[in-house]
Every structure is written in structure tokens, then in C-alpha cells.
Amino acid sequence: MESLQEMIMRVSQELSCRPTSRSVAEHLDQHDDLSHLRQEFIIPKISDLPPSDLSLVDGSEDCVYFVGNSLGLQPKSAKKYIDEELEKWAKMGIHGHTEGSRPWAWAEENLEEQMANVVGAKPEEVALMNGLTVNLHLLMLSFYKPTPKRHKILLEDKAFPSDHGCFVGFDCAHAVGNVELQLHDWNVDFACWCSYKYVNSGAGGLAGAFIHEKHIYTIKPALLGWWGHDLKTRFRMNNEMELQSGVNGFRLSNQPILLVCPLQASLEIFNKTSMKDLRRKSVLLTGYLEFLIKHYYSKDESQPDKPFIDIITPSDPEQRGCQLSLSFSLPIRAVFKELERRGIACDLREPNVLRIAPVPLYNTFTDVHRFITVLGSALSTTDKLHCS
């Protein structure tokens, strides 16, 4: 199979240009089967980003948004769906609980099959509810039963066989929508995740939880809420709790319909492709970013004064998602500031790391090339300020 570097070299030869040429990025975009998905999102303009300096850049251009690891972009249909529910609330009032395309009383349940496809689970193993931290607490209350001899949460790599009768759970906040997951087939006991990063549901969006079907009758919630009661008898008020089985019994309250709407908008986009295809593009996209960074900014012992960048994320694509964490030889805050002034949205992590996440749903190979070009200007400016 052709490696990424071999592909870049082949394309550059076909186009009679350098491997680092923008023409290579444009060619890769033209042959990207998922490029149409970008049109499903609203890409902020450079002029609308508060740190942008319009004396340096064209404000009418789309920004380079490489911070989907912290907050995904807004799906275009999110506003439409929210407006529909506001209109329904205005016109129908309480009848909105049972009427319309997304009845408020069970709207989130209509999305759980699509969410299950993203995480590799059965629909009945997934619940959309609460926020990540709330779900983590609820699951830990039920699964974590420490004893004097068995009380550790983290398990070392090489353990005695007896140490493996234990439950295994995952916080998938940075994995869902980013890499292929098979929570059911991997026999994961429980998992939880937020949805505002790679799943693009908006800040504070509706989170998800997973409990494997093997625990459907053995693991019960430690804290009960009325939304965990069976829907058929939920409103009979007979003072008898009819707990739903599995993860559905962990529900506490009815879900905010205004948070359901953007999540629906995003999951519909995921439903137009597959995590396998998204991951295939992601490996190429992030690999292309890695190729260009190493080409231009590897440490050169013969030029000790030249700014350099270390990629501290594993180089093996199987050990990373779309994000690269970059460590700089120059002051990180100054580099970050210069990138933001030029319309780059990325993520600063103290003491010296920038997180760069080209997301396959909406980022392009040209975005990557633009970032590298702007990075050169940012480093040049920072270096001059640092040396003066």
C-alpha cells in the first residue's frame, strides 16, 4: 500500500511541483470523497474572530479552524432545528411534549441509534443525557465498588491475571467522532463522553453514556431520576418505580430540547458517511500536517538559531487521533498570539504546547497548507521580537 509520503511525492511529480507546494494540497482536496461535508458547517470568517488583525490578513477569508478538539463547528441545520422548537413552544405550549418531528418527551431517543453507530454500540447500550462529568459520576457510583484488596482505578500494563476480574470504563471525550470505536465488540463495561468537541453539538452540549448489554440486569443506578422510569408508565404517579434496564435506567431528567437540536444536526452529517471513511481521511490529513512540519521545522544542528518544532504526539497514526501537540523553541504565548492575529484558531496548553486538530468532517488539505504558511510568518515575527 502506498504510504503518505509516497503519495505526496507521486502527486508532486504528476503536477511538476515541489512536494510542499500548495498545488499538492489542492489536488488532494479535489480527490477527497468527503470534501462535500465541509458545506454542512458554518466556517467563521477571519474578520469575525476577535483576535484577528485585519492589517495582516484578508478578513473576508474563512479562518483556519484547527480547534475542533475543544469545540466543533456549528452545523448549518442547527439553527433551523432550534428555531423549529422555539416556534413549536410558542404555538403549542405543553403539547410540544408529544407532537412534532422531535417530541420533547423522547426526542433524544430518536438520536441514539445514530450515536451508537459513531461509538460502535447497540442503540440500547447508549443514552444521551446530562454532561460528561455528571455521567462519569453516575457510572462510577454504580461500577466502582472498592474493597480493601481491590480499590485501585488505574490498572498497570502488566498485571496478575486475578487483577483482570475488574470493570473497564473509558472517558471517550476526545475519541468519539475522532477515531473508530467498537465499544460493544471490545467488551467495554462502561464509557461516557461529551459531544461538543468532535461531535459538534455546541458548548455544553448533551453528553452520552454507554453500558454494555451484559450488565443489563446486574448493574443498577445508585441515584435514581424520574426519566429512568419506563416511558409507558412514567406519568401514572403510582409511587412504584419501573426502572428501565441498562443504561436507560441511569437517566435523571428530561433532556433540554434546545441541546437535542444541534446534536441531531451533527449526527445527521455523521450519518452521511462512516467513521471508517472519516478515519481514513483523518490519517491522511494529520499525516500531511506532520509531513510539512517536519519538512520546515525539524531541529537542525547546523542552524542552532533556527526556530524548531517538536511533535510530541506519537508518530504512529494508530496511537493518535487527528490532533497533533506541538512544542516550540520560541515562547509559546507569543507564537499563539501571532497565529491568532492571522486568523488561525488553535489551542494553547501551558507551559509550551499548541494543540492543532485538523478535523476530517470540515477541514481540508488546503487548510493545512495555509496553516503552515501562516506559521512561518508567526514564527518569523516571534523570533524577531524574541531576539530584540
Residue with cell 531541529: 299
Render pLDDT for 235-244 as a digit per residue (tens, 0 to 9). Answer: 888 888 899 9
pLDDT at position 388 is 62
pLDDT at 45 over 80: yes
Render pLDDT for 322-334 as a digit per residue (tens, 0 to 9). Answer: 999 999 999 999 9
Render pLDDT for 151-173 as a digit per residue (tens, 0 to 9). Answer: 776 655 655 554 557 788 999 99
Domains of the chain: 4-75+275-387 (3.90.1150.10), 106-149+166-253 (3.40.640.10)
Render pLDDT for 67-93 as a digit per residue (tens, 0 to 9). Answer: 999 999 999 999 999 999 999 999 999
pLDDT at position 161 is 53
- Angle at alpha carbon of residue 262, lines to 260 and 267, rounded to 5°: 90
329 forms bridges with which residues in the sheet?
A: none
Q: How far apart are CA 159 and CA 334, in angstroms?
A: 45
DSSP track, 86-123: HHHHHHHGGGGGTSSSS-TTTGGGGGHHHHHHHHT--G
User: Which residues are within 8 A (CB) of 234 and not within 5 positions of it... i.e. 6 or more apart?
Assistant: 226, 227
Radius of gyration of the chain (CA): 24
- Angle at alpha carbon of residue 22, lines to 377 and 382, rounded to 5°: 10
Rounded to the nearest integer, the mean pLDDT of the chain is 94
**Segment holding 355, helix H or strand E:** strand 353-356
Helix pair 275-297, 365-387: axis angle to 10 deg: 30
pLDDT at position 69 is 97
| pTM attached to this predicted model | 0.92
Residue 15: band (very low, low, confident or very high) from pLDDT cuts 50, 70, 90? very high
pLDDT at position 119 is 98
Q: How far apart are CA 170 and CA 102, in angstroms?
A: 30
Comparing 30 with 146, the larger pLDDT belongs to 30
- Angle at alpha carbon of residue 161, lines to 159 and 167, rounded to 5°: 85
Residue percentage of the chain with pLDDT more than 90: 85
Q: How far apart are CA 233 and CA 307, in angstroms?
A: 66
* Cis amide leading into 44 (omega within 30): no
Residue 127 contacts residue 208 (beta carbons within 8 Å): yes
**Per-residue cell: 93:** 405550549
**Segment holding 126, helix H or strand E:** strand 126-128
